[in-house]
């Protein structure tokens, strides 16, 4: 009973996936209709050829009884039917390719747009490689299955129906022989389809896991080699690869049964038609030409079952891949935002803010803070106390669980995320650069910036000198995430990117962690000029860099335990004083 219930649920799930596929196909229905019409023309022309051949044979049977004039007309008709078939199949191929690759494009666009709308909590919890696998590999496999389905499925069904119709018109009794063996073909196709879907679904899942692991290893190869982890990483890869091999072999095994099984059934049908037709011809029931028609139709009738079985196998694989893509599209979007636009005056207020990444592990509780416009707020504390989490909440990468964050007197949940983030300039310890020119990376936040403005921002961040030393200056192409420049140079470019925008509020999270001491002193001076009149949040582990802050917040376990400027906190001789003094003790 449970097995039957699972089967029903799987069938219902497949129906839902197919309905969603059809919704993606709907915009291209004119091409689909044209493809179906051409398929009908192609099948009709193909089925006409055996009749013409049979009639021509009957005109040539017997010594000296060849009617050359009739045979000539039939040869011309056969050539015309073949030409019509070729033209119709060309149009079918054009239409099906158009549908397939447009649907693939739409699926990828929908997936990328979905990823843009997903909350960071989802992206943090799912491997990047698995998402890449869904958007690239799964959509490709789905496209292959869809193309084969359009190309062969409808044509095959029409061929079967048309062949049966023509055979019945020639001789109903021999047609019964063919129809009687048809359930055997259907049984074989059903048996293969049931087993292939489960294994192809497992294959796509493991393939996504493998892609995620490869992505992880490639990105962290320096760390892998530095810690001598090559052997263990290879063992882990071998284990995932072995599982992929196992499930792929099972999927391929069942799908490879298609051709031999259906060909065996085809040969049975052909032999049965040949034997019964020959006996009927000897008895004078049909002519030799009609027997040749039946043999041709028996072959054409059986061939679509072979193709349809292959198509069903590919469609099962395509459905499994489509299901993974649709599951991504079904994920919940980040909390819907309102249409209001924020114009910040730099006043930021946090009232009784509470937040936790995991339901059972509180991180920030009852956090209250009022930041006046233009103030420089430094945030310090031990690792894991909630400093970076506070930045994520200010930028609304995550929404608070309790309380509220207000900018210019408005709850940030009442304005668009884009307008909120345009009011912040953020430089993080973890740099991010896109593949492209130096100029494009600096102008990432202001694509319309002039050359003079880009150079001025680079000079202000002390990046201009190293950029001019590069082979092509500002036109130098950097690889993904800046792999061909140093970490310090990447951070200078990220700082230049913010200096070009100069928004009313700044967030600096260990912004100079990868820069040498001499350049850092210059950058700090540039930051000081940049922060004049702007509300700034500074996160730093090197406490010597935040002595000039207007207010220093000392955080511990999600709470503000001390608050004040550097001198007053040192005078209290509390937790901040201990942190500040300990950095010199450790380096002594």
pLDDT tens per residue across span 89-112: 899 888 888 888 888 888 889 888
Final residue in a domain of this structure, among 329, 361, 380: 329
Q: Specify the CATH number for the domain of residue 353.
A: 3.40.50.300
Domain membership of residue 335 (yes or no) is: no
Predicted local distance difference test score (pLDDT) of residue 25: 84
Say if residue 556 is exposed, middle or buried (CB neighbours under 10 Å; 0-12, 13-18, 19+).
Answer: middle
pLDDT band at 585 (very low <50, low <70, confident <90, very high): low
Predicted local distance difference test score (pLDDT) of residue 588: 41
Q: To the nearest whole number, what is the mean pLDDT of the chain?
A: 80
pLDDT band at 463 (very low <50, low <70, confident <90, very high): confident
CA angle 235, 237, 240 (to 5 degrees): 110
Domain membership of residue 6 (yes or no) is: no
Specify the number of domains making up the chain.
2
- Select the more confidently predicted residue: 202 or 62: 202
Does one domain contain both 224 and 104? yes
pLDDT band at 400 (very low <50, low <70, confident <90, very high): confident
Does one domain contain both 449 and 393? yes
Q: Classify 556 as helix, strand or coil.
A: strand
Q: Inform me whether the pLDDT recorded for 87 exceeds 90.
A: yes
Does one domain contain both 384 and 411? yes
> Beta strand pairing status for 551-556 and 376-380?
parallel
In terms of residue numbers, what domain contains 305? Answer: 11-329
Domain membership of residue 334 (yes or no) is: no
Domain membership of residue 536 (yes or no) is: yes
> Which helix H or strand E contains 140, and what residues bound it?
helix 139-148
**What's the rounded mean pLDDT across residues 81-91?**
89
CB contact set of 209 (below 8 Å; sequence gap of 6+): 127, 130, 240
Q: Inform me whether the pLDDT recorded for 7 exceeds 70.
A: no
Final residue in a domain of this structure, among 298, 329, 360: 329
Give start and end residues of each alpha helix (H) in 366-442: 387-394, 417-422, 438-442
Alpha carbons 323 and 329: distance in angstroms, whole number: 10
Alpha carbons 366 and 350: distance in angstroms, whole number: 9
Alpha carbons 346 and 353: distance in angstroms, whole number: 19
Listed range (235-244, 335-344, 367-376) with the worst mean pLDDT = 335-344
DSSP class of 471: T
Domain membership of residue 3 (yes or no) is: no
Does one domain contain both 298 and 369? no
Does one domain contain both 143 and 258? yes
Domain membership of residue 273 (yes or no) is: yes
Does one domain contain both 314 and 371? no
Q: Specify the CATH number for the domain of residue 178.
A: 1.20.1560.10
Does one domain contain both 443 and 533? yes
Q: HEC profile for 228-257? A: CCHHHHHHHHHHHHHHHHHHHHHHHHHHHC
Q: Inform me whether the pLDDT recorded for 55 exceeds 50.
A: yes
Does one domain contain both 433 and 481? yes
- Give the Å distances, CA to CA, from 313 to 75, 136, 473: 38, 21, 54
Alpha carbons 278 and 285: distance in angstroms, whole number: 10
What order do you get walking across the sheet with 348-355 strand by strand?
364-371, 348-355, 402-407, 410-411
Domain membership of residue 276 (yes or no) is: yes
Q: HEC profile for 90-128? A: HHHHHHHHHHHHHHHHHHHHHHHHHHHHCCHHHHHHCCH
- Select the more confidently predicted residue: 42 or 266: 42
Q: 340-361 pLDDT, tens per residue?
A: 777 777 888 888 888 888 777 7
- Select the more confidently predicted residue: 20 or 180: 20
Q: How many CA atoms lie within 13 A of 100 on its CB side?
A: 21
Listed range (161-170, 245-254, 424-433, 541-550) with the worst mean pLDDT = 541-550
Does one domain contain both 112 and 247? yes
Listed range (25-34, 86-95, 183-192, 416-425) with the worst mean pLDDT = 183-192
CB contact set of 214 (below 8 Å; sequence gap of 6+): 129, 237
Does one domain contain both 318 and 355? no
By the 8 A CB rule, do 509 and 429 touch? yes
Exposed e or buried b per residue across 370-387, where buried means at least 16 C-beta atoms within 10 angstroms of its C-beta: ebeebbbbbbbbeeebbb
Alpha carbons 369 and 358: distance in angstroms, whole number: 24
Does one domain contain both 320 and 405? no
Say if residue 152 is exposed, middle or buried (CB neighbours under 10 Å; 0-12, 13-18, 19+).
Answer: buried
**What's the rounded mean pLDDT across residues 400-406?**
88
From 480, 485, 477, 510, select the one nearest 495 (Cα to Cα). 510
Domain membership of residue 337 (yes or no) is: no
pLDDT band at 587 (very low <50, low <70, confident <90, very high): very low
Predicted local distance difference test score (pLDDT) of residue 310: 65
Q: How many CA atoms lie within 13 A of 386 on its CB side?
A: 24
Does one domain contain both 239 and 354? no
Orientation angle between helical segments 288-329 and 154-170, nearest 10 degrees:
160
- Select the more confidently predicted residue: 327 or 293: 327
Predicted local distance difference test score (pLDDT) of residue 61: 63
pLDDT band at 5 (very low <50, low <70, confident <90, very high): low
- Select the more confidently predicted residue: 196 or 474: 474
Listed range (2-16, 391-405, 494-508) with the worst mean pLDDT = 2-16
* Neighbouring-strand partners of residue 379: 539, 553
DSSP class of 138: I
By the 8 A CB rule, do 195 and 202 touch? no
Q: 176-218 pLDDT, tens per residue?
A: 877 777 777 667 766 776 677 677 778 878 887 888 788 778 7
Predicted local distance difference test score (pLDDT) of residue 1: 46
């Amino acid at each position: 009973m449970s097995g039957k219930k699972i089967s029903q649920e799987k069938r219902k799930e497949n129906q839902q996936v197919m309905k969603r596929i059809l919704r993606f196909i709907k915009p291209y229905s004119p091409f689909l209709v044209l493809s179906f019409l051409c398929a009908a023309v192609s099948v009709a022309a193909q089925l006409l050829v055996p009749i013409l051949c049979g009639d021509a044979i009957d005109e040539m049977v017997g010594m000296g009884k060849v009617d050359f004039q009739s045979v000539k007309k039939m040869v011309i008709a056969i050539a015309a039917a073949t030409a019509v078939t070729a033209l119709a199949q060309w149009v079918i191929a054009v239409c099906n390719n158009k549908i397939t690759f447009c649907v693939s494009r739409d699926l990828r666009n929908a997936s990328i747009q979905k990823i843009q709308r997903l909350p960071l909590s989802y992206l943090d919890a799912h491997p990047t490689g698995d998402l890449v696998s869904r958007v690239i590999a799964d959509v490709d496999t789905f496209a292959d299955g869809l193309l084969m389905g359009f190309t062969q499925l409808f044509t095959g069904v029409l061929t079967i129906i048309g062949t049966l119709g023509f055979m019945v018109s020639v001789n109903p009794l021999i047609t019964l022989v063919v129809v009687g063996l048809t359930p055997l073909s259907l049984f074989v196709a059903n048996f293969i389809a049931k087993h292939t879907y489960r294994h192809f679904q497992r294959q796509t899942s493991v393939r996504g896991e493998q892609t995620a692991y490869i992505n992880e290893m490639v990105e962290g190869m320096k760390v892998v080699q530095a810690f001598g982890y090559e052997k263990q990483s290879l063992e882990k890869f071998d284990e995932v690869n072995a599982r992929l091999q196992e499930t792929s072999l099972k999927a391929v095994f069942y799908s490879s049964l298609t051709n031999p099984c259906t060909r065996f059934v085809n040969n049975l049908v052909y032999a049965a038609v040949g034997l019964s037709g020959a006996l009927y011809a000897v008895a004078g029931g049909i002519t030799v030409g009609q027997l040749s028609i039946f043999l041709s139709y028996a072959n054409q009738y059986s061939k679509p079952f072979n193709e349809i079985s292959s198509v069903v196998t590919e469609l099962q694989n395509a459905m499994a891949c489509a299901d993974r893509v649709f599951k991504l599209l079904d994920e919940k979007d980040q909390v819907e935002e309102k249409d209001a636009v924020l114009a910040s005056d730099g006043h930021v207020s946090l009232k009784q803010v509470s937040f936790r990444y995991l339901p059972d592990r509180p991180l920030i509780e009852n956090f209250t803070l009022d930041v006046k416009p233009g103030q420089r707020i430094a945030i310090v504390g031990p690792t894991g106390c909630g400093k970076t989490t506070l930045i994520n909440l200010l930028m609304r990468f995550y929404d608070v669980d309790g309380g509220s964050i207000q900018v210019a007197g408005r709850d940030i949940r009442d304005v668009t995320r884009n307008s909120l983030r345009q009011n912040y300039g953020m430089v993080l310890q973890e740099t991010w650069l896109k593949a492209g020119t130096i100029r494009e990376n600096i102008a990432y936040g202001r694509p319309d910036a002039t050359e003079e403005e880009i150079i001025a921002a680079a000079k202000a961040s002390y990046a201009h000198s190293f950029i001019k030393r590069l082979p092509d200056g500002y036109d130098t192409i950097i690889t993904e995430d800046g792999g061909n420049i140093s970490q310090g140079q990447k951070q200078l470019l990220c700082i230049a990117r913010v200096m070009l925008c100069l928004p009313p509020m700044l967030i600096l999270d260990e912004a100079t962690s990868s820069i040498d001491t001499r350049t850092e002193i210059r950058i700090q001076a540039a930051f000081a000029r940049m922060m004049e009149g702007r509300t700034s949040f500074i996160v730093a582990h090197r406490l010597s860099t935040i002595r000039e802050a207007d207010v220093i917040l000392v955080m511990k376990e999600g709470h503000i335990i001390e608050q004040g400027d550097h001198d007053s906190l040192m005078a209290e001789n509390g937790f901040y004083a201990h942190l500040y003094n300990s950095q010199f003790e450790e380096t002594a």
